[in-house]
Amino acid sequence: MDAPSAVLQTSEIPIADDPVVLIFGSLYILMILAIGVWGYTKTETLSDFLITGKSIGTWVLAITVFSVVQSGFGFVGGPELIYAFGTTPIWIFGTAPIGFLIIWLVIGKRMRMLADIRDVLTLADGMYARYENDWVRGLTGITVIISVTGYLATNLAALQYVMRAIFGIPVAMGLLLGASVLLLYSVIGGMIAGVWTDFIQGITMIIGAILVFFYAVSFGGGVRNISENLAASDPALISPFGALGGITALSWWILFSVGGIGQAHTITKFYMIKDIKLLKWGAPIAAISYGISSLLAFTTGLSMRAMVEAGNIQALESASETMPIFVLNYAPSIVAGIVLSGLLAAIMSTSDSFLNIAAAAVTRDIPRALGRPIEDDQVEFRVTQIALVGVTVAATLIVHFSSALVGILGVIGWGLFAASFFPVVALGLNWKGATAPGAIAAIVVGLLLNIVYEVLPTAFSTFGMGSLAESISATYPFPETLVVGTAAMLISTIVLVVVSLVTQSEYTVPADIKPLLEQ
């Protein structure tokens, strides 16, 4: 299929000189800001701002949870990783739906019950209720800030490419403008605006993914032709475990299925549902929605790589361009408009979730852990809005100075959450034997392992200190193909169990939390 004349390839990222795409993009930004204004009229307290005042139902919860997980990581990072490594990332996107079932089964009901038992607005609030320890609260808040800053950078990194593709502005300007709109929307709308935008963009992502699936398969000449072209170039690209091999594939499977329980921006959504009885059908809705939306990542990544290997198109300057280039060059305008505009909304509404939990960690979780809470609800509300600015600026700077792939940033962010919080939440809400010292040790170990072996090497490489990054990576005690986040999650889980067993005689579960653990 020839590239339509509406696409101008004057740089490595194509620009849509197409009124349909421009209209869709402009309307989505206006819609985001309009929902933000509407959310402002519904937001009167910090509870409204952070957890919507427990007002959402089954479909909104399920679609919101799936779309928050998918967002820029799935729609830009997914095609990017599959283009770069073949079928290995399918062990993320093909098995992640299992994670939704695990989340709902293991902690969904218990997280919602916490919101009835105690005044919880954040993950740190919930973990303090379970362990009644300020160190647990404070370390949870610190970990949220670190993890969210990196994970938010994933979405902003995707956002700059989407802004470039839709509006034709330089990447740096796309990052700045996108971050500014995000900040405005988040400050005025809070989580009420976020969940409804998540719901709308989730539906849009499903529709867009189905459309792209058919165009991508056709573009690659059919499934058989795609497979033959990839196999002729490198059989590993379409092997069961892909170019990165079995250990990495299985590591990603564990991290993105079981590790979903540790994602603070996802599991705190359970506080928001208006009736605990409405949880029943949320898991299959979220799982099926995620599976359908992942069709975009599979087909665009494999088709684009197959056509490159066949010599039919030029190799991409960066794997991060896979999705924007495909929808603008090889899909109809209406499809490009739907996908890019839906992704624009997805990135911003998902980022809104990150900003809210990070800002709350700064103004609520850490001060309370230090014994210096902000007593006035309205003051805490306004200070939380101000904290949004600092988190946004930090994440924007990370993207501006980092050359890491969007997908890799996403894996790092997910790994930080999973390693630090999976054992504390999953075991803590299901095992009476989990103790505060065990939780503290697990968070510290999970956080440090990720920082030392994932965050620091990536940062040093970005700033031209490759030898230092290699020196640190050389001390990694496991095979390099074992994903750091997975190793850290498994080790932190063992640490929580061992330390808890040693300290059980010194700790008792709070009386009002015991019935929750018996559910």
Condensed to tens digits (0 to 9), the pLDDT of residues 200-224 reads: 778 888 888 888 888 899 988 898 9
Give residue 409's pLDDT. 59
CA–CA gap between residue 297 and residue 316 (Å, rounded): 16
Q: What is the pLDDT of residue 495?
A: 97
Mean pLDDT to the nearest integer, 326-350: 79
CB count in 10 Å sphere of residue 126? 29
pLDDT given for residue 408 in this prediction: 56
At which residue do the structure tokens 């700077």 appear? 397
Cβ–Cβ < 8 Å for 301, 220? no
Please report the pLDDT score of residue 1 as a whole number. 31
pLDDT digits 0-9 by tens, 149-195: 777 777 787 778 778 778 878 878 888 888 888 777 777 766 777 77
Question: How many Å apart are CA 161 and CA 153, to the nearest integer?
Answer: 13
CA-based nearest residue to 327, from 308, 348, 303, 300? 300
Tell which wins on pLDDT, 446 or 55: 446
SS3 assignment for 136-177: HHHHHHHHHHHHHHHHHHHHHHHHHHHHHHHHCCCHHHHHHH
Pick from 161-165, 248-252, 475-479, 493-497 the range whose average pLDDT is largest.
493-497
**CA pair distance 69, 80, nearest whole angstrom:** 16
Q: Answer yes or no: is pLDDT of 17 > 90.
A: no
User: Strand, helix or coil at 403?
Assistant: coil
Rounded Cα distance, 361 and 358, in Å: 5
| pLDDT at residue 118 in the model | 87
Helix, strand or coil, per DSSP, at residue 8 = strand
Residue 422 — pLDDT band, cuts 50, 70, 90?
A: very high
Question: Across the chain, what does the average pLDDT equal?
Answer: 82
Half-sphere exposure for 430 (CA within 13 Å, toward CB): 16
Beta bridge partners of 8: 15
The upper half-sphere exposure of residue 78, i.e. CA atoms within 13 Å in the direction of its Cβ, equals 25
Contact 356, 50 (CB under 8 A): yes
Assigned token pair, 49: 């701002």
Which of 51-55, 136-140, 335-339, 472-476 shows the lowest mean pLDDT across its residues?
51-55
pTM: predicted TM-score of the whole model, two decimal places:
0.83
In sign, the C-alpha dihedral spanning 443, 447, 450, 453 is negative
9: left (phi over 0), alpha (psi -120 to 50) or beta: beta
Q: In this predicted structure, what is the pLDDT of residue 8?
A: 32
pLDDT at residue number 423: 95
pLDDT > 70 fraction of the chain, expressed in percent and rounded: 90
Report in angstroms the alpha-carbon separations of 324 from 204, 233, 262, 316, 424. 16, 24, 30, 11, 38
Predicted pLDDT of residue 411 = 63
Rounded mean pLDDT of 237-260?
Answer: 88
pLDDT > 50? residue 122: yes
* Domains of the chain and CATH, by start: 14-517 (1.20.1730.10)
